[in-house]
Structure 1
Amino acid sequence: MKDEDWGPFGRPLFEDPSARALRRVGVIDVGSNSVRMVVFDGAARSPAYFYNEKVMAGLGAGLSQTGHLNPEGRVRAMAAIKRFVLIAKSMEVTPLVAVATAAMREAEDGPAFREEVTQETGLRLWVIDGTEEARLSAQGVLLGRPEAEGLICDIGGASMELAEVGKGRVGRRATSALGPLKLRDIEGGKKALKSHIADQLEALKDAVPPGADRLFLVGGSWRAIARLDMIRRDYPLTVLHEYRIAPNSLSDTLDFINAHEVEDLRTLSGIGEARMSLVPMAAHVLRHLVDAYAPAEIIVSSYGIREGLLYEQMPEKLRKRDPLIEACRHAEAQSARIPGFGRSLFSFISPLFEGEDWSRLRLVKAACLLHDISWRAHPDYRAEVCFDTATRANLGGLDHSERVFLGLALLHRYKNSRSGSRFEPYLGLLSEDEQNRAETLGKAMRFGAMLAAQDSAKMGALRYDKDAARLELRLLPETSALFGEVADARFKSLARALNADPVVLGA
């Protein structure tokens, strides 16, 4: 079957040889503050985290003063790397890529430690410069949002990088010495620190000028600040990826951080001691950064250098795919009772969404692919499991309101009413109109599932005339028996959601 026969989203690629080669890729990231290994698995375009472990080694602690890696950090980092290499071997991870960033490239004993790692483990560390670190971090953002446009800011322990992204490409990029570990070593008090940050930002602005509307934040210290913003706002959804912060809200949160002791913030958030110790300094940098670049919107990305390394290995045809759709296709293939029916369901209910823009249509497609993956859950809890899957799953290409829209649509796939649901706090992320649209989509899937057939042409045809307030179902003689009593009730429920008169032809 030709690719165009699959419609605007194309044929699934996760079984393509170029995608299968990336089904299990490991990355070890030796940073200035932490050492982490991630093993990606599943749909290569929107991978699941098969394994994810970090150790807060603190390699870059005291680097500005001594010029050397922290001795205790070297011991902890080596122990972590040895462990990760053994785990990767047991998982038969190929390839296993290892990168090292600011601390390793700046320390006098960085080359010696790199050689020691190779001798002890056989692993070759790729020590990258700051602009390459910026490029890979930006590619990580593109893995999750191919259409992302704006400025990427990745903060590590000993450095901070900026990069422009737009039209699927990385533009100008620059690095700076604005990592919290390095800033803690600045002598001369607050005045000297402020002057140093100002000088670094001026150099960054020369290399990567202001003007972007969106600022994407990458790095553990930024995520910690976002977590505190969520807590301060009593925000219902705790997924950090694609969390959006208005500049005025961020300013309030930075004031909140400044007004509290580190230990109090740690108790409040559950963030680890090593990470939280860097937050006040990172918050200071972020305030100056936002003042300098004046973004209209700030977006947190959990994807960064590790995901950027995976993106680096993707063929262009895979990069161009929608990460949400590819992930949902993979989920359907793995978990649905009738893999492939999501495509038929999408074709069947599409007449209800004619004229919708691409951003909405992709959510309709995603919902159809996911509509049956939770069938093993107890019927009494299936609607809740569906909502949780959409709102909490590791899915790229979704902001928080889109997650809730998708979750609500799947909830209505199994349940007519959302009243009294434990998910009601989440619904505030959607307008009333968006809630009603999600309900309509859910009821359309609920009805369409009653006419299950691999070939959508055998399901009959829907026609929706919004102006005439008429929902028409045309049945085929050979499959009209599928339209039983329950299907009739669901068809009428869908018509009510559309404020339309239900009409059945050919029954």
Structure 2
Amino acid sequence: MRIGAIDLGTNSCRFLLVEYAGGTLQELKKGLRITRLGAGVDRNKLLSNQAIERALAAVLDFVGVMKSLQVDQVTLLGTSALREVSNAFLLAERIKEKTGLQLRVVSGAEEARLNYLGAGEEGEDSLILDIGGGSTELIWQAEGGIINYRSLDIGAVRMTERYIRDPEKEIREEDLLELEEAVRAIIREELESLPANIGRVIGLGGTITTLAAIEQQLEKYDSARIQDYLLEKGQVEEILKKLSRLSLAERRQVKGLEPGRADIIVAGIKILTTVMDIMAIKEIRASEKDLLYGAIKELAKKFGLF
């Protein structure tokens, strides 16, 4: 059986197609397109017509690819940007009309649960950290499952729009300090009295996987080299320092950095370094098994495959 999942995120649209065979899920195809669905959402609480068209085009292309590979079932998810806007139905209706797929906008709690299904490892205390375009999810897991979670309105697109005055130039230190103060205030408020023992830290989302690609200077993105790549706090801080001193045009030339992510990557990394500092995290292990993989596992269970 072949199962596909599409994630309409704040910054990008992604898909994953797997085949269930021999009791395991085997990856067949995956793809990503920068759609910036959440452009202006933090300010206007509406999807722009241009963003709707970009997202629709990506979904249609990805559905076409999966159909050509004889997919049996597809699930379509929307996250932070679609949770916030009042006109998500416009995109949902267009997608259903063109593909027959029903868009499922997941809550912060559901996003955390799907990330856990994708990245969680049984029997090991750990923190799963997912920095997205619009939000950041933190999921504490122990033997038996999730013991707590938080979904915070701090993401790479959102914080760029709020605090980075001119992403096309070198990033001003004042902008980064304001961004850090905002992240610290939110985390202090949200994380009080939560588990102190976090064990291993697993990092999800484009900011963290991009850091792994930059650190390895990958000419071409290679999932096998990203999965389980260990990033130390000092390495992350060094990349932040380097990228913040480059113009947007220069950032787009950095090996391992998707050009379409170059305008928001500094804010994303600043979120990460601030979280690592507050929570005394020394290292983080990158993972590609996020909510897409979790959504596929969930669908597979419905068909009795697990």
The alignment's TM-score, normalised by the length of structure 2, stands at: 0.85
What is the distance in 2 between the residues matched to 1:186 and 1:221? 18
- Segment of structure 1 superposing worse, 65-74 or 150-159: 65-74
Partner of residue 135, structure 1? 113
> What is the Cα deviation at residue 168 of structure 1?
5.3
Which amino acid in the other structure matches residue 122 of structure 1? G
Which amino acid in the other structure matches residue 41 of structure 1? E
Matched, 1:94 2:72: yes
> What is the Cα deviation at residue 120 of structure 1?
2.8
Partner of residue 258, structure 1? 244
Matched, 1:167 2:143: yes
> What is the Cα deviation at residue 238 of structure 1?
7.3
Partner of residue 155, structure 1? 131
- Aligned residue runs from structure 1 range 37-52, under 5 A: 37-43=15-21, 46-52=24-30
Matched, 1:121 2:99: yes
Q: 1:215 aligns with which of 189, 192, 201?
A: 201
Query: Deviation digits for residues 243-301 of structure 1, max 9, x if unmatched?
Result: 11233333333333334444434323143221222211111111100011112431111
SS at match of 1:203: helix
- The answer (yes or no) to whether the contact 2:156–2:267 under 8 Å persists in 1 is yes
Partner of residue 232, structure 2? 246
> What is the Cα deviation at residue 169 of structure 1?
1.6
Partner of residue 171, structure 2? none
- The answer (yes or no) to whether the contact 1:59–1:77 under 8 Å persists in 2 is yes
Partner of residue 185, structure 1? 161
How many residue pairs end up in the alignment? 291
What is the distance in 2 between the residues matched to 1:271 and 1:136? 26
- Aligned residue runs from structure 1 range 19-418, under 5 A: 23-43=1-21, 46-142=24-120, 145-167=121-143, 169-186=145-162, 190=175, 192-206=178-192, 208-231=194-217, 239-315=225-301
What is the distance in 2 between the residues matched to 1:57 and 1:137? 21
Across the aligned residues of Structure 1 and Structure 2, the Cα RMSD in angstroms comes to: 2.7
> What is the Cα deviation at residue 181 of structure 1?
0.9
What is the distance in 1 between the residues matched to 2:114 and 2:13? 17
Which amino acid in the other structure matches residue 279 of structure 2? Y
- Segment of structure 1 superposing worse, 34-43 or 248-257: 248-257
Partner of residue 411, structure 1? none
> What is the Cα deviation at residue 183 of structure 1?
0.9
What is the distance in 2 between the residues matched to 1:84 and 1:28? 8
- The answer (yes or no) to whether the contact 1:148–1:167 under 8 Å persists in 2 is yes
Query: Which is richer in helix?
Result: 1
Which amino acid in the other structure matches residue 117 of structure 1? I
Which amino acid in the other structure matches residue 166 of structure 1? A
Percent identity reads 24
The alignment's TM-score, normalised by the length of structure 1, stands at: 0.53
Q: Which has the larger radius of gyration?
A: 1
Query: Deviation digits for residues 393-418 of structure 1, max 9, x if unmatched?
Result: xxxxxxxxxxxxxxxxxxxxxxxxxx
- The answer (yes or no) to whether the contact 1:162–1:208 under 8 Å persists in 2 is no
- The answer (yes or no) to whether the contact 2:112–2:149 under 8 Å persists in 1 is yes
SS at match of 1:310: helix
Unmatched 5+ stretches in structure 2? 166-173
Structure 1 181/211 Cα, relative in aligned 2: closer, same or farther at 3 Å?
A: same
- The answer (yes or no) to whether the contact 2:214–2:256 under 8 Å persists in 1 is no
Query: Deviation digits for residues 10-41 of structure 1, max 9, x if unmatched?
Result: xxxxxxxxxxxxx3111011111111221112
Task: Answer 1 or 2: higher relative contact order, Cα 8 Å, separation at least 6.
Answer: 2
What is the distance in 2 between the residues matched to 1:258 and 1:286? 14
What is the distance in 1 between the residues matched to 2:57 and 2:40? 20
What is the distance in 2 between the residues matched to 1:242 and 1:175? 23
What is the distance in 1 between the residues matched to 2:61 and 2:19? 20
- Aligned residue runs from structure 1 range 460-479, under 5 A: none
Structure 1 207/154 Cα, relative in aligned 2: closer, same or farther at 3 Å?
A: farther
SS at match of 1:61: coil
SS at match of 2:14: strand
Unmatched 5+ stretches in structure 1? 1-22, 320-507
What is the distance in 1 between the residues matched to 2:252 and 2:208? 15
- Aligned residue runs from structure 1 range 431-446, under 5 A: none
Partner of residue 342, structure 1? none
- The answer (yes or no) to whether the contact 2:127–2:141 under 8 Å persists in 1 is yes
